[in-house]
Amino acid sequence: MAPTSGKRRVTITDVALHAGVSTSAVSKVLRNAYGVSPEMRERVRAAMAELDYRPHAAARGMRGRTYTIGVLLDNIRNAFFADILEGVNTELRGGDYQVLIGAAGFGEEDQTRLARALVDRQMDGLILIGPGFPRTEVLRTAATVPTVVIGHHDVAEEHDSVVDADALGAGLVIDHLVRLGHRRIALTSTPGNRGSGWSGTPERVQRRGYHEAMRRHGLQDLARVAMTAFSEEGGYRAGMELLASADRPTAVFGGADVAAMGVFRAARELGLRIPEDFSLAGYNNTAVAALAPVRLTSVDQAGGLMGTTAARLLLERIEGRTRSVLMTVSPSLVVRGTTGPPPATEV
Amino acid sequence: MAPTSGKRRVTITDVALHAGVSTSAVSKVLRNAYGVSPEMRERVRAAMAELDYRPHAAARGMRGRTYTIGVLLDNIRNAFFADILEGVNTELRGGDYQVLIGAAGFGEEDQTRLARALVDRQMDGLILIGPGFPRTEVLRTAATVPTVVIGHHDVAEEHDSVVDADALGAGLVIDHLVRLGHRRIALTSTPGNRGSGWSGTPERVQRRGYHEAMRRHGLQDLARVAMTAFSEEGGYRAGMELLASADRPTAVFGGADVAAMGVFRAARELGLRIPEDFSLAGYNNTAVAALAPVRLTSVDQAGGLMGTTAARLLLERIEGRTRSVLMTVSPSLVVRGTTGPPPATEV
DNA sequence: GTACGTGTGTAGAACGTTCTCCGAATTGAA
DNA sequence: TTCAATTCGGAGAACGTTCTACACACGTAC
């Protein structure tokens, strides 16, 4: 058994005794419930302060709320998630709720296990960021506890959704590159074994947007997509595949900033200068993109806004809203140093 | 009240009924406790599987453990923390414990509040990464629940400690730069209002190591430290201050990779080429340092190892160890493209 | 004088576990 | 046969809250 050495916790009973009232009364004060006179409220408050009382969340969880919100994500290394979380924290700061994050990894089983763990720990609400476990499992979870899904474009009665207009975002990049004079523009994307049942993963919608934009510019025959993982290494391999080929693209749109970094490495290794010989754009506008040695043109998704929105929607759901809501935020292009006109020989 | 719509949870009673035994028996099986026959264990196991039973963590928390470990950190944006967390997760994967992360921000009150929240939520153990709230509060917490502190060199009976040999790490960088021919080597560091009572914060130990190394090389008079925040912006300001001055250093040791990125921006803005005109090194060897456009020379701290170690120590403490343990991991230098000999005019 | 709110407070039964204690059955030794 | 000793299983009291139900005191309207 854990050595809980220290003295016993101060409980609601201690407070009640100290204030000379019933535990019910203390509980009411605690929850701002109806049926307490101002004087009693004051007396109880004083007693709580005097004894340095803090309610035991686990015990509260047995009957009512735990005042805890769980966030599930695959990997905290993804800087975009940090933006979202900052938004969530901003919205919830000062309120009664605490945010606890679970980093599940990319495995389907691990994610499922974490999701269940969050439910078992009696979270009052869940924010799932780009969940990679089966949709049916998500829906089952969402039927039990208020849930907001961030990223996937699939909507459902059971949960709210906060998404980025990814098709539009992809369009922004293509428009920008075409305007610069590029025609052979490739995309790196990921098959995304994101569990089963999701038809609207961000990467898929982004891909759709890419193809639409290429078609819009009459470049559909030049469209080319390299599928790998959204990671530095994945981007590198995709970059190698694309740039070593005969009719090599003059620009690559990395579907995620990390992947773009990998493409960058491939380009450098092949002796291509950026942006003189080759243009590169990313997606998500994570912190790296802005770094002085990087200066990557990218698409900003307003992660902070997505976070605050998700938190607000979740609170509403906890308070009882049942109609589901879809919130779409629109992306914007941030042009930096990695995109420029294609080399003269290509025009 | 939250709409818990779905059907009622499967409880231990349901399992007991279904298996035709008492709840006590089920509980015993659940906890691998003494006093169950193999047949009964099998029967109960089968019932649990059949009903898809999952113990209610909040309820368990009221008497025994919650099988949850809380990690407190200031900001998930710090890529070094990701390394640590990966280590923690690796060690705990497959076990009974779940890891939940709280991102407290840098404020002293916010951190204190989060720490208390974790205790209130009945965590079985706590991992505090570079805590920025008062040491007394940490010690009080550690007296109540098993705790491991990562980063700070201050040791105590109440908790275990996992630290990097930061003085040594600073020495590695200085040695490397001196060997290249540099003499005017500056450091960017942070005052770090990391709560009160900590005398061994990583940055302080690192600073000490820097001064020792400079003295060792007879360069104590050329030592120079710019104090700012460990952030891109902070690094930029420090870089500007150092590089715009008359006797500008030929090399800067950014006390953290992010800060080094800021210094990079300052250098570029002043028209200094790296590493031809000016050398730059970072600390922590975060993911950015390895990126193709960055290639920052940095000090690797083996964050993963720190994480696995911390997790292991914590489990031991939960199992009852009371003697405190200090674990030091040694850093290693990773030389990349941002360091080279000083410009000829300087030698 | 009765009936009916309305506002303020308490009693006490949940909630789903853990764990101490106790009883029954079985075994082994004297 | 009797008496421990050992093993297996269950009863039931916690744990710290929430929340329903109810009691009481005080109007107020008829």
pLDDT tens-digit profile of A249-278? 999 999 999 999 999 999 999 999 999 999
Q: What is the reported pLDDT for A164?
A: 96
For A51, which DSSP code?
A: H
Taking contacts as CB-CB distances below 8 angstroms, the residues of chain A near B264 are 291-293
Residue A136's pLDDT band, with cuts at 50, 70 and 90, is very high
Chains A & B: contacts with CB separation below 8 Å: 172
Q: Do B2 and A288 count as a contact with CB atoms less than 8 A apart?
A: no
Contact yes or no for A100 and B99 at CB 8 A: no
Sign for the pseudo-dihedral over CA of A90, A92, A98, A99: negative
pLDDT digits (tens, 9 = 90+) for A286-314: 999 999 999 999 999 999 999 999 999 99
Q: Determine the residue of chain A that is closest to B141 in CA distance.
A: A6
One of 3.40.50.300, 3.40.50.9100, 3.40.50.2300, 3.40.50.720 is the CATH number of A68-164+303-330, namely 3.40.50.2300
d(CA B9, CA B314): 32
Looking at the structure, give the CATH architecture of the domain made up of residues B12-55: Orthogonal Bundle (1.10)
Q: Which nucleotide is nearest to B65 (CA to C1')?
A: C18
What does the mean pLDDT of chain B come to?
93
Residue pair A326/A155 in contact (Cβ under 8 Å)? The answer is yes
The reply to whether residue B102 touches residue A100, judged by beta carbons under 8 angstroms, is yes
- Using CA atoms, how far residue B19 sits from A201, B16, B50, B295, in Å, is 43, 5, 10, 62
In 3D, which of A6, A8, A94 has the Cα closest to residue A51? A8
- Among B57, B114, B124, the residue with its CB nearest the CB of A2 is B124
- Supply the angle between the helices A12-19 and A38-51 in degrees, to the nearest 10: 120
- Cα separation, B151 vs A75, in Å, equals 22
Closest in B77, B121, B268 to A287, CB measured: B77
What percent of chain A stands above pLDDT 70? Answer: 97
Is residue A275 reached through a cis peptide bond, with omega within 30 degrees of 0 on the bond before it? Answer: yes
Question: How remote is the C-alpha of A204 from its chain's centroid?
Answer: 16
Decide if A145 and B114 are in contact by the 8 Å CB cutoff: no
Residue A81 and residue B82: Cβ atoms within 8 Å? no
Task: Residue B42: count other Cβ atoms within 10 Å of its Cβ.
Answer: 13
- The nucleotides of chain D lying under 7 Å from a protein CB are 7-12, 14-21
Q: In the structure, how far is the CA atom of residue A115 from the C1' atom of nucleotide C4, in angstroms?
A: 52
Of B76, B98, B264, the CB nearest to A117: B98
The helix (H) or strand (E) run that includes residue B60 is: helix B57-63
> How confident is the model at residue A7, as a pLDDT?
62
Q: How far is A131 from chain B (nearest CA, A)?
A: 17
Cβ B76–A101 below 8 Å, yes or no? yes
SS3 B208: helix
Sheet (strand B160-164) strand order? A326-329, A160-164, A147-150, A125-129, A68-73, A98-103, B98-103, B68-73, B125-129, B147-150, B160-164, B326-329
Chain B residues in contact with A337 by the CB 8 A cut-off are none
- Give the 3-state secondary structure of A210-258: HHHHHHHCCCHHHCEEEECCCCHHHHHHHHHHHHCCCCCCCEEEECCHH
Distance in angstroms, CA of A65 to C1' of D23?
A: 29
The half-sphere exposure of A272 on its side-chain side, counting CA atoms within 13 A, is 25
B12-55 and B166-301+333-346, same CATH topology? no
Among A58, A89, A125, select the one facing B62 at the smallest CB separation.
Answer: A58
Which residue type does B324 have? S
What mean pLDDT comes out for the span A106-121?
A: 94
SS3 of A320, please?
A: coil
> Tokens 């307490």, residue?
A36
Tokens at A347, concatenated: 């025009």
Chain B residues closer than 8 Å to A55 by CB:
120
Q: How far, in Å, is the CA of A37 from the C1' of nucleotide C6?
A: 13
**Nearest CA distance, A260 vs chain B (angstrom):** 10
Tokens of A216: 């819009």
- Indicate the Cα dihedral angle B83, B85, B86, B91, nearest 10°: 130
- Distance, first Cα to last Cα, chain B: 73
DSSP reduced 3-state for A149: strand
From the CA of A24 to the C1' of C12: give the distance in Å.
10
pLDDT in the model for residue B1: 33
Domain extent listing, chain B: 12-55, 68-164+303-330, 166-301+333-346
Residue A191 exposed, middle or buried by CB count within 10 Å (0-12, 13-18, 19+): exposed
Which nucleotide is at minimal CA–C1' distance from A64? D18
Give every CB contact of residue A297 below 8 A, 6+ residues apart in sequence. A173, A176, A279, A280, A281, A282, A289, A333, A334, A335, A336, A337, A338, A339
Pairing relation of β-strands B68-73 and A326-329? unpaired
**Alpha helix (H) residue ranges in chain A:** 12-19, 23-31, 38-51, 57-63, 79-92, 108-120, 135-144, 166-180, 202-216, 232-243, 257-269, 287-290, 303-318
User: Measured between beta carbons, which residues in chain A are less than 8 angstroms from residue B57?
Assistant: 117, 120-122
| Smallest Cα distance from A174 to chain B, Å | 23
Q: Which residue of B has its CA nearest to A70?
A: B100
Cβ contact B169:B331 at 8 Å: yes
* Average confidence (pLDDT) over A76-94: 93
- Name the residue among B2, B120, B287 with its Cβ closest to that of A57: B120
Do you know the residue count of chain A? 347
Task: Find, among A292, A336, A290, the residue nearest to B263 by Cα.
Answer: A292
The amino acid at residue B276 is E
What is the arrangement of strands in the sheet containing B279-281, beginning at the earlier edge strand? Answer: B224-227, B185-189, B251-254, B279-281
pLDDT at A9: 87
Using a 7 Å cut-off to protein CB atoms, list the covered nucleotides of chain C: 7-12, 14-21
Contacts of A89 in chain B (CB under 8 A): 103, 105
Q: Name A326's bridge partners.
A: A161
- Side chain identity, residue A328: T
Check residue B2 and give its pLDDT: 36
Verify whether the Cβ–Cβ distance A2 to B125 is below 8 Å: yes
Identify the band that residue A346 occupies on the pLDDT scale cut at 50, 70 and 90: low
Please say whether the beta carbons of B262 and B231 come within 8 A. Answer: yes
Residue B47 sits at φ, ψ, to 5 deg, of: -60, -40
CATH topology of domain B166-301+333-346: Rossmann fold (3.40.50)
**Per residue in A2-61, pLDDT tens?**
333 446 789 999 999 999 999 999 999 999 999 899 999 999 999 999 999 999 999 999
Segments of chain B scoring below 50 in pLDDT: 1-6, 347
